[in-house]
């Protein structure tokens, strides 16, 4: 039984010694590789290159962040300018609507003035016809009176008696009344004609004023249309600039994302190297513990 135990211990010791020898050889290889990596200029250049690339990526990240802030400020400024242009366009549109309303009102007033002028012309023609009719009636009445006076004078000559004074007086009074009526009619016609002329002149002044207001409204409308076209062109230019800024910002963001991914990859590689170094150190520590335990077992076996 003791010989079997000794044989088992010999087998275990042989396995332990082979394992220790293999791990020591691997440890020596790793130590030599680490020393060569630390002492070789390629390792230093690789580390310097890694640090330089990391520094360049950090600088690019800072530059992209500054450009992003500048682009955001430019975007905000363009947005404010677009809002101002929109407000001005709305004001110009309101002014244009007001000008259109004023133009429509002026056109309505012009139509009313034209209708009033036509009515005044028709009224003047009607009054002229009435005056002509009154003149014809007056001429007819005058001719009749002349005939009556002639017949009355002939009847007076047929009589040999003394002339009677009241008959010619009545004829003269009648003629005076007719002349006064005719004068009154003429004066009434003159006053009506003067009133119609005043109304016609007032209508002409209102018409000229309406025409001038219409011309001014049309000029103002043309200016507003020109300003609106200029504002539309400026708005399109600002929208194009904003779209270009967005494209540039998107490109910078993509570059920033690529740099960030590269940095993350480098950080991940760094973490992987740290994990590998920690694993190597842990394996070395385990080998030391295993070596110590095997040394104790060998000492116990001896």
The DSSP code sequence of 34-68 is HHHHHHSHHHHHHHHHHHHHHHHHHHHHHHHHHHH
The DSSP code sequence of 195-242 is HHHHHHHHHHHHHHHHHHHHHHHHHHHHHHHHHHHHHHHHHHHHHHHH
Residue 163: pLDDT band (50, 70, 90) is very low
Q: Is the pLDDT at 158 greater than 80, yes or no?
A: no
User: pLDDT digits over 100-146, tens only?
Assistant: 888 888 888 888 888 887 888 887 788 878 778 877 877 787 777 77
Model pLDDT, residue 273: 78
% residues pLDDT > 90 (the chain): 0
Model pLDDT, residue 172: 64
Q: Is the pLDDT at 62 greater than 80, yes or no?
A: yes
Model pLDDT, residue 5: 86
Q: What is the mean pLDDT of residues 283-295?
A: 80
Model pLDDT, residue 159: 46
What's the pTM value of the predicted model, to 2 decimals? Answer: 0.36
Tokens 């207001």 found at: 213
Model pLDDT, residue 174: 60
Whole-angstrom distance, CA of residue 111 vs CA of residue 113? 5
Cα 18 from chain centroid (whole Å) = 84
Q: What is the Cα gyration radius of the chain?
A: 61
Average pLDDT value over all residues in the chain: 78
- Residue 165: DSSP 8-state: S
- For residue 64, how many other CB atoms are within 10 A of its CB? 19
Q: Tokens representing 225? A: 């249309």
To the nearest 10°, report the CA torsion of 61, 66, 71, 73: 150
User: pLDDT digits over 218-267, tens only?
Assistant: 787 788 888 888 888 888 888 888 888 788 878 777 877 877 787 788 77
Helix (H, G, I), strand (E, B) or coil at 163: coil
User: pLDDT digits over 75-90, tens only?
Assistant: 888 888 888 888 888 8
The DSSP code sequence of 96-153 is HHHHHHHHHHHHHHHHHHHHHHHHHHHHHHHHHHHHHHHHHHHHHHHHHHHHHHHHHH
Query: Given phi > 0 = left and psi -120 to 50 = alpha, else beta, which region is 118?
Result: alpha
Query: Given phi > 0 = left and psi -120 to 50 = alpha, else beta, which region is 132?
Result: alpha
For 297-300, the CB contacts below 8 A with 24+ separation are 297/13, 297/16, 298/13
For residue 258, the number of C-alpha atoms closer than 13 Å in the C-beta half-sphere is 7
Whole-angstrom distance, CA of residue 200 vs CA of residue 192? 12
- For residue 106, how many other CB atoms are within 10 A of its CB? 20
User: pLDDT digits over 36-54, tens only?
Assistant: 777 765 555 666 777 788 8
Helix (H, G, I), strand (E, B) or coil at 1: coil
Nearest CA-CA partner of 12 in 301, 286, 292: 301
User: pLDDT digits over 190-203, tens only?
Assistant: 787 777 777 777 77
């Amino acid at each position: 039984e003791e010989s079997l135990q000794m044989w088992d211990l010999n087998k275990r010791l042989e396995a332990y010694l082979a394992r220790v020898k293999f791990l020591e050889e691997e440890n020596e290889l790793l130590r030599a590789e680490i020393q060569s990596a630390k002492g070789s200029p390629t390792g230093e250049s690789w580390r310097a290159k890694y640090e330089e690339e990391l520094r360049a990526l950090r600088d690019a990240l800072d530059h992209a962040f500054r450009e992003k802030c500048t682009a955001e400020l430019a975007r905000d400024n363009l947005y404010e300018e677009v809002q101002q242009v929109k407000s001005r366009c709305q004001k110009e549109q309101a002014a244009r609507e007001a000008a259109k309303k004023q133009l429509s009102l002026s056109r309505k007033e012009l139509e009313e003035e034209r209708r009033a002028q036509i009515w005044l012309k028709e009224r003047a023609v009607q009054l002229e016809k009435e005056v002509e009719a009154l003149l014809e009636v007056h001429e007819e009445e005058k001719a009749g009176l002349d005939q009556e006076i002639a017949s009355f004078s002939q009847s007076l000559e047929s009589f040999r008696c003394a002339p009677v004074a009241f008959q010619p007086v009545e004829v003269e009074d009648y003629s005076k009344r007719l002349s006064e009526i005719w004068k009154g009619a003429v004066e009434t016609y003159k006053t009506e004609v003067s009133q119609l002329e005043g109304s016609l002149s007032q209508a002409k002044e209102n018409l000229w004023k309406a025409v001038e207001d219409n011309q001014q409204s049309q000029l103002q409308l043309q200016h507003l249309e020109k300003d609106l076209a200029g504002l539309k062109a400026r708005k399109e230019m600002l929208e194009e600039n904003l779209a270009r800024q967005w494209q540039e910002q998107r490109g910078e963001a993509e570059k920033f994302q690529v740099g960030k991914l590269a940095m993350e990859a480098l950080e991940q590689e760094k973490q992987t190297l740290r994990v590998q170094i920690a694993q190597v150190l842990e394996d070395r520590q385990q080998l030391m513990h295993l070596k110590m335990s095997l040394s104790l077992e060998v000492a116990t076996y001896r």
